[in-house]
Structure 1
Amino acid sequence: MVSKYLKVAFPVVAMLGAVGMAHAKATPEELAKLGKELSCMGAEKAGTPSGVAEFTGKWLGAGPGMTTEIGKHPVDPYANEKPLFTITAQNVAQYGDKLSEGQKAMFKKYPNTYKMHVYPSHRDFRFEDSVCKTIARNGAETTISADGKSLQNYYMGASPFPIPKSGIEVVWNGMHPTIINVESRDIDTAVVYANGNITWGQQLMWQYARRNDPKLRGQKAEGTAVYVRFMTMMPERNKGEVVKTMDNFTMDKEARLAWQYIPAVRRVRQAPGFGFDSPIPSSSNTVVVDEVRLYNGSAERYDWKLIGKKEMYIPYNNFRLEGKAAGENKYANLLKPGHENPDFVRWELHRTWVIEGRLKEGYRHLYPTRVLYADEDTWLYAMSDIYDAQGKLWRFNWVNNFYAPGAKVFAQGAAFYHDLSSGTYTAYDLMQGKDKHLVIDQPGAEYAQVQFYSNDNMKASGY
C-alpha cells in the first residue's frame, strides 16, 4: 500500500502527520526567518552538497536573452548548458532516493527508451516585493478553520502559509499560488497510445484569476477568486461546448460554481458537481478536471497528510520544452510511443514538499490516493503519483512550470499524464505548435473583464 511506502521513505511522517487538523501556526521566530535564511516564499535559501542550488533570485523579469513580448514562445536563458548526467534503467538504483515511485515505474516500464537528463540546478527568478510582503502578512495572520475548508484573514496575491505545519496548509498554498492574472490559451491535446497512434483534441481557454490581480494584491480576500471559460474545438463530437467556472475562496459546497453550454440544446445550464473527477472532453476523457496543474479546486474529499520535505529530481527551467522545435511536424519530435521525448525535458535537483491525499470514507473519486510534490520556491506542484483502490501505483503525472518574465510570475505549460497500466499517456496544454504561445496580460483583453464570463456571453460564443 502507498502509505507503507511513504512511512519507509520519509521517517518524519509520524511527527508531521500527528499535526493533522490541529493547524498549528508558524511561530514569530520562524516567520522572522523570511527574507533571511528563508526566501520570502518560505524556501530554504541555502544549497546542498548533493546539488540543490542556492537561491539567488537575481532576476526579476527577463533573464539573459529572454523575451517579454506577449504570445512569444519562451526563450531558454540556460540554453548552452549540458546535462550533468543521465539517469537510465541501468543506473536508476543509484538515484532512487531522489525519485518518486512514479518516476521509478517509468524506468521499469520503458527500460530501453525512458531516461532523465539532469542539469545544474538554478533558483534565479524571484517575485516582486509586494508578493513577499503579502505572503509574510499571510503567514502572520491567516488561520484555517477547524474543518480545513476556509481561511480567515487571508490576503490575495500570495500563498497563505509560507511555513506550513499540515498537509491541508500545503494544499491551500497550491490553491492560491502567485501565478498568471489574465491569460488565454489555444491548446492541443494528444492522447498517445502504446502503439504510437494519437487521438487529438483542441481547447480554447480564457482566465481571469482575480486573486492574482496585481491591483488587488495584498487586499483581504472576498468575492470570486478565479473566472475560467473554455471551449472544446476537438474532438468533433464535442465541438462548441462551453464551460464556465467560478472558484471562490473556500473548499465547501460553494467552492466551484459551473455552467455549461451544449450546442445541441442551445441553452446554458448550471453544472452542479463539476470539477473533481469530471472528465475533460478535449483529452478524450483521459484527464479529469481536478488534475489540471496536478491538483486544483476543493480538497474536501481527501484527508491530507504532510509527509515532509525531500530533495527530488523534478522538471524545472524547461523553457526549451515550450519552444517551437517541440511542436514541429505536428509534435512529431516530442510525442513518442510510451512517453514524451526525453531529449526535450530538463530535470534538476530541488527540494519539494510532499503530501499524501487519501479519499475520505463516504466520498467518491476516480483517484483514491494521490501523492503530490510541490516546489518549495513557488508552491506549484511539479509531479504526482496516483494509486488505485488496491494501493497499486496507477499513474505518474508531471507539469512544466516555467517563469514568465513579462508577468514576473510562474506559468503552467505542457503537462504529461501517464497511465502505467495501459501504456497510454496524454500530453495536455500543448502550445508549441501554435503561432502564439501563452498570451499573458494582453492590454484591453475582453477576457480580463467579469462580463466576459456571463451566461449570455457563453451562449453567444458557442456554435
Structure 2
Amino acid sequence: MKNIGRCAIAADGMTLDVSKGCHGGFPFPIPKNGVEAMWNKKAAYMGAARVMKTASYYVKPSGEVVITNQMFIYEEGGLYDPDKPIPTHEWGLRSEYSGPARIAGQATMIVDGLDGQRKSWSYQPATRRTRLAPDLAADTPIAAQGGAQLYDQLNMFSGTLERWDWKLLGKQEMYIPYNIYSLMNPTSDKCGPKGLFMPNHPNPECVRWELHRVWHVQATLKEGKRHILKKRDFFFDEDSWIGGIQDTYDHNDKLYQVLWAPLWPDYIKKVTIGGSSFPTFDLSTRLYVFPLVSQSWSMDKPLSSSQFNSDTLTNFILRPGGY
C-alpha cells in the first residue's frame, strides 16, 4: 500500500515513473486501467533474483516428443533489488543453453528498461562473438521453443506495452492451474516427462486446477501496429498477478493459442510464485510446447553488474550454488 502515491504511469501513458521511490510490491494495488494492471503483472514478486534449470518439450499431435532446449535461466526483478531504492530497470534475463547439441553453448541476455526500451544480446559459439540481438522481442518466435512461443509471451507478457490498447475488464472467477505439486515436483514417471506428455495436452492427472478470482485484462492491437496476434485476453491470479491463463486471437478473430502460467507456493519466501513452466498450446496445429523447471534457486540479491552484462556471455556462470 506504500506504493499508492509513489508509483505512477509516466506522461507517455505506458512506462512506470519510479522517481518518487516506487519500489517493490505491486505499483498499483487498486488498478484503475489496463496499463496499471499490466505493470502489476510486470512487478509480480519472484524474489530479487532466481536461477532455474529447465528443459522444453515440443509435443506433436502424433504424440512424438522433441526436446527443444535444456538450459539454465537467471531472472531478476529490477523493482526488488534491495540495494537500489530507485530502480534502474524492470526485468533482466540470462539464458545459458546446455543442450541439445545444435544449440549447446549459446547464451542470450535481455534487459527491459523502465523507459520501455529492450536491450538484448546473443552469443554464438560458432563465431565466438556476442552481438546485439534486437529481434529478441515482440512477435519474434523463440527458436529454442520450437517457434511455438513468442518473445513477448515470456512470463505471459514481456517487453513494451506500446503496440496494444489495454483495457481492464474487472474481476471474475475462473479455474486456473494452481498448487500443481505433482507437476513441479514429480515423484513418479507418471508426471515426469515420460508420462506427462500426451497428444494435444499434458496428462490431466498431473495438472491441478482451483477456482480463483482473476483480473481480466484485454489487449487489442493498435491501428497501424504490426503483430501476428490481434487480441489477447489475460486472466491474472488476483492474489499474486504472477500467473493464470492467456488466450490469443489471430487476425481472423479465431482463438489461436492458450497459454498456462501455473502457480504454487514458495515456502521459503512465503509467497505464491510461478516459474517458467508456461505451456503454450497452438490450436491451429494441435501441437504444444511445455517448458519444465527441474530445479530452482532463489537469490537474496541480483548478480553484480560485473556478472550480469553482455561481455560475460562467452562464459557459463549459472550453476547450482555457483552464481
**Same fold, TM-score > 0.5, yes or no:** yes
Could you say which residue in structure 1 is the equivalent of 2:65?
A: 198
Instruction: Select the residue among 106, 121, 138 that pairs with 2:3.
Output: 138
Amino acid at match of 1:207: E
Could you say which residue in structure 1 is the equivalent of 2:321?
A: none
Deviation at 1:409, TM superposition (A): 3.2
Deviation at 1:320, TM superposition (A): 2.6
Could you say which residue in structure 1 is the equivalent of 2:320?
A: none
Does the 8 A contact of 1:354 with 1:373 survive in 2? yes
Does the 8 A contact of 1:372 with 1:383 survive in 2? yes
Classify 1:187/1:181 alpha carbon distance in 2 versus 1 (closer, same or farther; 3 Å): same
Q: Percent identity?
A: 31
Could you say which residue in structure 2 is the equivalent of 1:229?
A: 94
**What is the rounded CA distance, in whole Å, between the counterparts of 1:225 and 1:168 in structure 2?**
15
* Structure (1 or 2) with the greater strand fraction: 2
- CA deviation vs aligned residue, 1:388-435 (integer Å, no higher than 9, x gap): 00100111110112221212333323221111111101111x13xx4x
Aligned residue runs from structure 1 range 143-158, under 5 A: 143-152=8-17, 153=20, 155-158=22-25
**What is the rounded CA distance, in whole Å, between the counterparts of 1:349 and 1:178 in structure 2?**
21
Matched, 1:418 2:281: yes
Deviation at 1:215, TM superposition (A): 5.2
Matched, 1:244 2:112: no
Amino acid at match of 1:404: D
Classify 1:151/1:451 alpha carbon distance in 2 versus 1 (closer, same or farther; 3 Å): same
Aligned residue runs from structure 1 range 260-409, under 5 A: 260-325=122-187, 331-409=193-271
**What is the rounded CA distance, in whole Å, between the counterparts of 1:423 and 1:159 in structure 2?**
36
- How many residue pairs match? The answer is 313
Aligned residue runs from structure 1 range 117-128, under 5 A: none
**What is the rounded CA distance, in whole Å, between the counterparts of 2:105 and 2:142 in structure 1?**
14
Matched, 1:459 2:314: yes
Deviation at 1:147, TM superposition (A): 3.0
Q: Where does structure 1 lack aligned partners over 5 or more consecutive residues?
A: 1-135
**What is the rounded CA distance, in whole Å, between the counterparts of 1:346 and 1:213 in structure 2?**
33
Q: Could you list the runs of 4 or more consecutive aligned residues of structure 1 that deviate by over 6 angstroms after TM superposition?
A: none
Does the 8 A contact of 2:79 with 2:90 survive in 1? yes
**What is the rounded CA distance, in whole Å, between the counterparts of 2:272 and 2:83 in structure 1?**
18
Could you say which residue in structure 2 is the equivalent of 1:127?
A: none
Does the 8 A contact of 2:71 with 2:96 survive in 1? yes
Which structure's CA Rg is the greater one? Answer: 1
Amino acid at match of 2:310: N
Does the 8 A contact of 1:227 with 1:450 survive in 2? no
Q: Which SS does the other structure have where 1:162 is aligned?
A: coil
Q: Which SS does the other structure have where 2:66 is aligned?
A: strand
**What is the rounded CA distance, in whole Å, between the counterparts of 1:379 and 1:329 in structure 2?**
26
Deviation at 1:238, TM superposition (A): 2.4
**What is the rounded CA distance, in whole Å, between the counterparts of 1:151 and 1:451 in structure 2?**
26
Could you say which residue in structure 2 is the equivalent of 1:123?
A: none
- CA deviation vs aligned residue, 1:94-132 (integer Å, no higher than 9, x gap): xxxxxxxxxxxxxxxxxxxxxxxxxxxxxxxxxxxxxxx
Q: Where does structure 2 lack aligned partners over 5 or more consecutive residues?
A: 318-323
**What is the rounded CA distance, in whole Å, between the counterparts of 1:326 and 1:363 in structure 2?**
47
Could you say which residue in structure 2 is the equivalent of 1:45?
A: none
Does the 8 A contact of 1:203 with 1:282 survive in 2? no
Could you say which residue in structure 2 is the equivalent of 1:438?
A: 296
- CA deviation vs aligned residue, 1:136-190 (integer Å, no higher than 9, x gap): 1212332213432222335221111111111111111111112222211121101
Classify 1:410/1:289 alpha carbon distance in 2 versus 1 (closer, same or farther; 3 Å): farther
Does the 8 A contact of 2:90 with 2:113 survive in 1? yes
Q: Which SS does the other structure have where 2:3 is aligned?
A: helix
